[in-house]
Structures are given as structure tokens and as C-alpha cells.
Amino acid sequence: MIEMDGTAMTYETPHDGIAIRQERLSAEEYVEFLARTDLGSQYPRERFRERIGRLVRNATISLVARNGAGTVVGVCLGLTDYAYWLLITDLGIDRGCTGKGIGGELVHLAREAAGGPRDIVVFACASEEAVGFYEKIGMKRSADMMELTGVDWTSFTVGRDPEQDGFRGGHDRR
């Protein structure tokens, strides 16, 4: 069931008491979540802390799945114009909750929040490991996307070294 109240949306899933809501996570909470997912290796080390803060503050779509205990088990962040396009920038599921349909629900609800399937085309920047998931939910590889890069990009995995993450024990250390 989806309940809409202004900009708030709650969706009670049939998956083990998991609820999906429009909500903004703090950078610290998002980093804690990333350490429990396979999404944590998609970010560059350069200015990680600053950039994650901007990401969670500025994503136009921010859906969070929580279990009955309130733990974040899934996140979908995206950018949309609410008329034509939705770019999913981040879609992650806690490793202990994969295969339950939460990711598909997050994509579906993100598209609904952006304007619905009659109006919104969804794009995602997917790692090779995630392509199968996106194909399973009906997405296809695109031949018409372009990119402009040139940014510093040193790979690392969130959660392996809290000092590199810029967060320690879930607390902001400004």
C-alpha cells in the first residue's frame, strides 16, 4: 500500500515487514549502510566525505527501505526533472536482504515518485555485476548515453577503512 501525504510516501512491502519511505539520510547513516552493500565500491576516494554529503542532500528522489527494527536495508537515490527523466544514481540493498524484491520495489516507487511510467524514462549507471538485476526488472542496455569525465577517481571500498571514509563509528568528525 502506498500512502501519499504531500511529499511523503510510505509503502509497506510484502517483504518481512519492510517499509519504504521518502526520507533523507544523513551522510553518516548512508556510509554505514554502504558498508553493508555491494554499492560501497562505486565511489572515488577523492573528497568522499564532502561528496557523499552533497549526494544525500541534493538527490531529488531519496527512498529508504527499513526493516521492522528501523535498520536501513535499501536505498534508491535519483535525479529527475519530474517530466521526462529519472537517473538512478544509487541503488543498494543490504547484503542480508538481497533477492527479496526490495530493489525492484525501490525502482518502481522511484519512477512513480518522479511522475509515473507514462511520462518517465529511467536510466541507471550500472556496474557489470548489477546489469542482470536491471534486466530482470525490465530495463535494457542503452546505446544513446554519453558521458563527460575527467574527474580524479581512486577506487576504494566504503567501510573497509573508516579513516578513508572520513567517518568513524558513524559519527561526523568535523
Assigned domain for 26 exists: yes
Assigned domain for 8 exists: yes
User: For residue 27, what is its C-alpha cell?
Assistant: 551522510
User: For residue 50, what is its C-alpha cell?
Assistant: 564532502
Range of the domain at 79: 2-139
Assigned domain for 166 exists: no
Q: What is the pLDDT averaged over residues 18-32?
A: 95
Structural domain count of the chain: 1
Assigned domain for 164 exists: no
Assigned domain for 120 exists: yes
Assigned domain for 170 exists: no
pLDDT given at position 161: 64
Which CATH number belongs to the domain containing residue 35 in this structure? 3.40.630.30
Predicted confidence band of residue 167 (pLDDT cuts 50, 70, 90): low
Assigned domain for 41 exists: yes
User: For residue 127, what is its C-alpha cell?
Assistant: 556496474
Bridge partner residues of 62 (DSSP) = 77
Q: What is the pLDDT averaged over residues 115-135?
A: 93
Q: What is the pLDDT averaged over residues 53-81?
A: 96
Is the pTM of the predicted complex or chain greater than 0.85? no
Taking CA atoms, 126 is separated from 32, 86, 88, 131, 135, in Å, by 21, 14, 9, 6, 11
Assigned domain for 76 exists: yes
